[in-house]
Amino acid sequence: MKPIILRTDADLDIAEQYMATLQDIARVITTDRTDEAGLIEAARDATLILTCYTGITGPVIEAATKLKGIVKYGVGVDAIDLQTATRNGVIVANAPAYGSDTVADHAFALLIALARRLPEIDGLMKTDGWVWPDRDLLGTDLGGKTVGLIGCGRIGTAMARRCQGFGMNVLCYDPYVDEAGGIGVRFTSLNDLLEQSDFISIHSVLTDQTVGMIGARELARMKPDALLINVSRGAIVDETALIEALEGGGIGGAGLDVFTDEPLSPDYPLANMSNVILTPHLAWYTKEAFERVERQTLESIVDILDGKIPRNVKNTAVVDVLGDSQSGPCGPLSAAAFDPKRVDRIPCGHVVVHPGGDGTLYLKAERQGSEYVHHYLVQIDPVPGDELALVYIDPDDLMIDCNARPSFGLNRVSDDHGLRPGVGHIFRNPKGLFLKVIEDPKSQKMFAFIDTETGDVRRRQERHVSGVHVQWSLESLLEIEGSNQAVDDLRRALRSRGRL
């Protein structure tokens, strides 16, 4: 009998373009119920729940005794009881990277539209046919102004790049981040950000700590002409306090894509304010982003039904509960051994594997770009061939850090000041020990040399280098001081494949 996928939010037709694929592997049932009692009944025999906006509460999860996973069609999982899901061994996956730039585009569109008074001018043009210069319609330049970003994750970082492109100074408040991929923002306290910023854009997730984070006191700290943008979650802003601030001239305006209660009521207080732009939670909605979220959602569904840990697992602690019942990259999962992290949190030069992958080992590398850090993986086992590539990866990809900083044997092969190392070869020169890789087939024969001690990438055109070609082997990767569960599991996996 096919497993059952319960699809909520019937009016959205989520994953519709892949429905034939889903129906090949499962029985898909769509419910229009959003109340807890209705969902408990609908989910009772479900193997997987596919949801977007509908809340999946603890009692719903508890009642679904066959449930293996919940896949969020989108990013935020605040409507899903993660603790209950984890306790019951239910994997929660989302699609975190499908629309970072897309949402940042929308946030910046709201910012520039408010700054130039575009809704007001557009309205007058349509009613009066023309608008003469009027001080009430005077816009604001962006160049030289200060924007404050509350939250500096994927979308916040993308927003920072857009603001910098317009010559703006960028402040950031994020208690969980102390650097932003080399893009040059300045981190500060929330109070300082509120007081110094001409524009404030919210890019935080909704948690118990962020509910009502921007209230009356915070709004009072803002400049009287400051503009507030929120494309994150409505409940982060106290809407009553925001209405009072806008009505009383406490701030200059607001651009909102999210609200505490959605959809809005016909008498929503901000609907008739000329200095407020409202959009219906569609910051993510472009053709390209829609295709990405559909594809990422399908991948997570297939992985969970296949008994694998999906790439975008949100409640990583569920690994502890599942234990040996779930497949991992180096065989059965060991709770103590695997610690999935975002790739940008893993130090350069460490050995990593994909959760739920086939056990392929990679070397983590990165290169400092002009605006942000590029994260790369280099395959090191199975031993790479002549086309070893330096593959760019999204910094939000989950990886497993095997805690092994590679160290390569130094058996001399040749000593040639006109050395031309091959792809996949190691060479040594006075600057260090390097691994040669092709950066990208489209990069006009640009090669990259990976510093094996730091993981940094040095790019250059193909040519002779001064150095000594040295041999290396996978075994040397495991010459680590001391031992830990992750390394022990890695050794066992390699032995099982005949590599040790």
Q: Is 120 a catalytic residue?
A: no
Q: Is 154 a catalytic residue?
A: no
Query: H or E element: which one contains 245?
Result: helix 239-247
* Cβ contact 279:257 at 8 Å: yes
* Cβ contact 208:157 at 8 Å: no
* Residues 6+ positions from 314 with CB-CB distance below 8 Å: 72, 77, 82, 92, 93, 94
Q: Which member of 179, 247, 262, 387 is catalytic?
A: 262
Q: At what angle do helices 100-115 and 118-128 cross, to 10 degrees?
A: 60
Q: Which member of 33, 281, 292, 342 is catalytic?
A: 281
DSSP state of 478: G
* Cβ contact 386:415 at 8 Å: no
Residue type, 247: E
Instruction: Give the tokens for residue 303.
Output: 């992985």
Please give the Cα distance from 127 to 488 (Å, whole number): 73
Residue type, 375: H
Q: Which member of 7, 154, 233, 311 is catalytic?
A: 233
Residue of 112, 100, 232, 240 whose CA lies nearest to 167: 112
Instruction: Give the tokens for residue 384.
Output: 């790479």
The neighbouring-strand residues paired with 398 are 342
Residue type, 495: R
Instruction: Give the tokens for residue 367.
Output: 């290169």
Q: Is 281 a catalytic residue?
A: yes
Length of the chain in terms of residues written: 500
Residue type, 373: V
Q: Which residue numbers are catalytic?
A: 233, 262, 281
